[in-house]
Each structure stands twice: as C-alpha cells, then as structure tokens.
Amino acid sequence: MIGLIIKDFINLKRNIKVLGFIILIYGISSYIMKDASYFGSIFTLVFGLLMLTTYGYDDYAKWDNYALTLPINRNDIILAKYMVLLLLTFVGAVINILFTGLMSAIQNTHMDTNMLRDALIAAGLGFALVILFYSIVLPFITKFGIEKARIICILIYGIFFGIYMFFRNIIQEGNSPVAAKLIQVLEIVRENVYIILPVLVIIAVVISYMVSANIYRKKEF
C-alpha cells in the first residue's frame, strides 16, 4: 500500500510549480490584507483539491485496469487513496499554521497563546471540512469515475455553501429563538472542538472508506 501512496505523490510532482505559484499569490494577498486566515481558508482547500488530480491521472493512464492485474488487494487501492487525502490535507493545515507564525514574525506582532489557539482551531476546522467534504465525494468518484463525479462535487459543494449561508443568515437576524438556540449549540461545539472534530472526522472517514471499498470490490473494469 505504501507503493500506491508514493505513486500518487510522484504523479503530483508535476503540480509543484503551480502549487508554489498559488502559495506565493495567496501569501502576498494575505500579507497585504494583514489577514493570515485568508491564506489558511484557501490553502487547506487547495491541498484537498489535489486529491481530484490524482484520480484524473489514474483515469488518463487507465491505472485501475493495470493495477488489478497485479497482486494488489482492492481494499488497499481504496485505502491508499484515503491515506493520500489525509496526508495532503494535513500538510495543508501544517503550512497554514506555519504561515500564520511567519506573518506574525514579519509584521512584528507577538503571537500569544490566544492567537496560536485560533490558528490551530482554524487549521483544524479547515482540515475537518475538507475531510468531511471528500468523505462524501470519494464514494461517488469510486462509483462513477472522476469526470462524471465532478458535477456531483459541484452539487455537494453548493449544498454545503447553501447550508452555511442559511445558518449564517439565521444568526445574523439575531433575536429569534432559532438563532439563540443555534448560537448556544455553536458555543458548545466551540468549547468541545478538540473532541468533536477528531471524532467526527474519524467516523466520516471510516464510513466513507467502507462504502468506497464495497463499491470498488464489486466494480468491473
């Protein structure tokens, strides 16, 4: 399985220049706006999007047809994809935290405990959202292939964004029982984020992997 993971990272080497350019552009933009969260909110997502690229390369090379002629377990092929997703998103989150510290040093601001905590929470939230998104998307990609699944990805993203805007509007309205209850729930989540996020991510990844593995075992190429 390690070889399968290395294969995807070797394929992604050709994207290093593009990725470096994205880091530069968003890094400069964040510095100009003096807002490290702008970089973090985009960059963790960008690393997650690289996951779609690995599927694109596999489809182009007809990798699955070749891989299934080798002594490789189908479950390992799927598990390797999930490991690549976790590694890519984790790297994005780490770079997010490092960038926050670098901006603090460049701007001669003291990165106190609260700032570090906020950076960690933002990185963790970005990591969790990307993982949750792909936990929904990857079974569809496994079932239909990357080209057909792109439309599904857009639809799921639209649903996520619509839900976010819906709850945001409720909170902004303020003086309603629903808004008060929602704020109370969000406050509980914020206070227990270090427990809730890891548990939620683990459950989502495990269920998603089981669904994808089941689909892939039955799939004919």
**pLDDT-based confidence at residue 93 (cuts at 50, 70, 90):** confident
Say what the pLDDT of residue 42 is: 67
Say what the pLDDT of residue 165 is: 76
Q: Is 108 left (phi over 0), alpha (psi -120 to 50) or beta?
A: left
Give CA–CA dist 42/7, Å, rounded. Answer: 26
Say what the pLDDT of residue 150 is: 79
**pLDDT-based confidence at residue 140 (cuts at 50, 70, 90):** very high
Contact present, 206 and 212 (Cβ < 8 Å): no
Give CA–CA dist 104/95, Å, rounded. Answer: 14
pLDDT beyond 80 at 90: yes
Give CA–CA dist 53/37, Å, rounded. Answer: 25
Say what the pLDDT of residue 35 is: 65
pLDDT beyond 90 at 194: no
Say what the pLDDT of residue 2 is: 86
Contact present, 91 and 128 (Cβ < 8 Å): no
Closest CA to 156 of 126, 130, 136: 136
104: which 2 tokens?
Answer: 């603090």
| Mean pLDDT to the nearest integer, 36-49 | 65
Question: With the CA atoms of 197, 152, 42 and 125 taken in that order, what torsion angle do they form, in degrees rounded to the nearest 10?
Answer: -10
Asked which of 95-104, 107-116, 206-215 is least confident by mean pLDDT, the reply is 107-116
Say what the pLDDT of residue 45 is: 65
Say what the pLDDT of residue 138 is: 93
Neighbours of 21 (CB within 10 A): 10
Structure confidence by residue, pLDDT tens digits, 144-176: 888 888 788 788 878 877 887 777 776 666 666
Closest CA to 65 of 145, 154, 167, 124: 145
pLDDT beyond 60 at 109: no
| Mean pLDDT to the nearest integer, 175-186 | 70
Contact present, 140 and 159 (Cβ < 8 Å): no
Give CA–CA dist 44/37, Å, rounded. Answer: 11
User: What's the residue count for the chain?
Assistant: 221
74: which 2 tokens?
Answer: 């189908």
Of the two residues 16 and 55, the one the predictor is more confident about is 55
**pLDDT-based confidence at residue 125 (cuts at 50, 70, 90):** confident
Mean pLDDT of all residues belonging to the chain = 80
Of the two residues 145 and 20, the one the predictor is more confident about is 145
pLDDT beyond 80 at 113: no
Say what the pLDDT of residue 166 is: 76
Give CA–CA dist 8/99, Å, rounded. Answer: 26
Say what the pLDDT of residue 116 is: 62
The residue type found at 210 is: M
Give CA–CA dist 49/8, Å, rounded. Answer: 13
